[in-house]
């Protein structure tokens, strides 16, 4: 049990760095014009394929793992 308590902060640091990298690597479908009210209808019809889909799913899994480790750290 002590090894989990000692190892958990390092696991959270690694997961957070990987999660930040995964979020930054993802492409956004909207441009700067969408932030100022410009219409961007093509972003709604974008389908993820290949590496983009893998990165999207990996980001979700990493975020869930990070949330679980944070919850475990809260309980312990």
Report how far apart, in Å, the C-alpha atoms of 25 and of each of 4, 18, 21, 42, 47 are: 31, 11, 6, 20, 17
Residue 33 lies in a domain: no
| Number of domains composing the chain | 1
Phi–psi pair at 31, nearest 5 degrees:
-100, -170
pTM attached to this predicted model: 0.76
The two tokens of residue 62 are 């990493």
pLDDT for res 35: 53
Residue 36 lies in a domain: no
Residue 35 lies in a domain: no
Domain hosting 60: range is 2-27+47-75
Q: Give the tens place of pLDDT for each residue, 20-42.
A: 999 999 977 555 555 565 555 55
pLDDT for res 1: 78
Residue 10 lies in a domain: yes
């Amino acid at each position: 049990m002590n090894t989990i308590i000692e190892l958990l902060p390092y696991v959270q640091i690694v997961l957070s760095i990987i999660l930040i990298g995964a979020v930054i690597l993802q492409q956004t479908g909207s441009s700067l014009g969408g932030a100022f009210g410009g219409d961007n209808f093509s972003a709604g019809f974008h389908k993820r394929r290949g590496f983009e889909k893998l990165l999207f799913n990996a980001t979700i899994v990493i975020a869930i793992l990070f949330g679980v480790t944070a919850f475990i750290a809260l309980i312990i």
